[in-house]
Amino acid sequence: MTIRRRRLRERVKRLLSEAHRLETENRERLEEARIRTEAALNLEKPDRVPVRLGLSPVWSDWYFKMRYGIRIGEYLIDPELCIEYQLRTWIDSFGDFDDDRTFVVPGQIGPLGGVVLHPSIAGCRASFPEDDFAWIDLGYRALDTEEKIDDFETPEISRAGLMPETLDMLDEMDRAIGDLIPVAIQGGDGAPLQMAAYTRGIRQLIRDMYTQPEIAHRLLDKMMDVYRAIHRFYEATWGIRYSGPDIEGYFYDNPLAYFSPPLVERFVLPRYRRYAEECGWRHWSFETQDVMDSFIELLRTVPIRNLHNLASNSDLGAFRQVLDPDNVCLHVFMAPGRLIQPQRVQGEVDRLFEQLGHRAWVLSSGVLDRAVPEASIREFLRASRSG
């Protein structure tokens, strides 16, 4: 073992020891948060609405910019930075802010995947800004002709897109500290509509749906095959189950709001329903982090237990009325920009509680970035806990 590796392991051991100390000293806080959160998720009325902060190092740059001075472009590709500063972010945020998190550090850490990794497997190009999180280059369209769509075949997942680099980083992290804490890909999902929209181009796919629907159908069928192959790879490689009635299905598509409800109903939902049936899910949903008001009636037609991405600038009263409040838990996040000015936070929080009351729902700050001052974060926690 190299001196550098040995030093990394010692730092990780110290961080995990610190996490254990915090767990011990804050046992009551963690237990109260667990009870509160489980009550909301079980559609029971908790003592108050659970409140969470979006400071996860998977997407938030707040600690990297405000505390550590870490360049995100380096963090994303450096296994040692990824290991150390994921743990530091979780530990420091737990100590700094008293939200309703039910753990100090999560059960695993690892490289970023999800909404960037999945489209890259289908042929999209990812951009890695020098000091920001990776994103998909929407100017490049991998399947810009009908012939390319027809010729496209589901690739071998382990060798496609960003997966080889992700697996290399995962393997290096696992060799370094896998005996201390489990290592796995982080970062959520990238569902078939998203892969279709990014490989074809959002505008072109919408145009196809109106003028050449057979092309859109073929493309979405192929992206469903990629999605299925990704799930199978995850299960075979890491034992991450994706099927069974105890699994809650979740189709996350960033560009969903670009598509009208009739297009989603015609081209997307039938495929998602078939996949949900194939997986044997009792509950599932399709979502985006944009406003989903236009999809309320479609959401009524799927068996939702949790609606995870409901922006605070949505018509929350309509969602509460249309989606059975006794059977659906709403997870609301503060829309971007609503936490920039501390003096406006109380009014934003009051508006949410006026619409949703104190029934079973969960409130989140949304992903916090460097633009949100610490005073706003503390005011959000104060206002939300007293709501």
Give tens-digit pLDDT for 343-375: 999 999 999 999 998 778 999 999 999 999 999
Residue 53 has pLDDT above 80, yes or no: yes
The encoded tokens of residue 266 equal: 């015609």
* pLDDT value, residue 358: 77
Residue 82 pLDDT exceeds 90: yes
Nearest to 132 by CA among 352, 365, 370: 370
Cα 359 from chain centroid (whole Å) = 24
Q: What is the pLDDT of residue 187?
A: 76
Report the pLDDT averaged over residues 138-147: 96
Whole-number pLDDT of residue 129: 87
Task: Give the per-residue pLDDT at 326.
Answer: 78
pLDDT for 319-347, tens place per residue? 998 988 778 999 999 998 999 999 999 99
Highest mean pLDDT: which range of 216-225, 236-245, 335-344? 216-225
Given a cut of 90, whether residue 296 has pLDDT beyond it is yes
> Per-residue pLDDT averaged across 218-232, rounded?
97
Reported as a pLDDT band with limits 50, 70 and 90, residue 244 is very high
Mean pLDDT of 182-186: 91
**CB-count burial class (<10 Å; 0-12, 13-18, 19+) for 107:** exposed
**Does 3 score more than 90 pLDDT?**
no
Give the per-residue pLDDT at 379.
97
- Give the DSSP per-residue string, 47-93: SS--EEEE--TTT--HHIIIII---HHHHTT-HHHHHHHHHHHHHHH
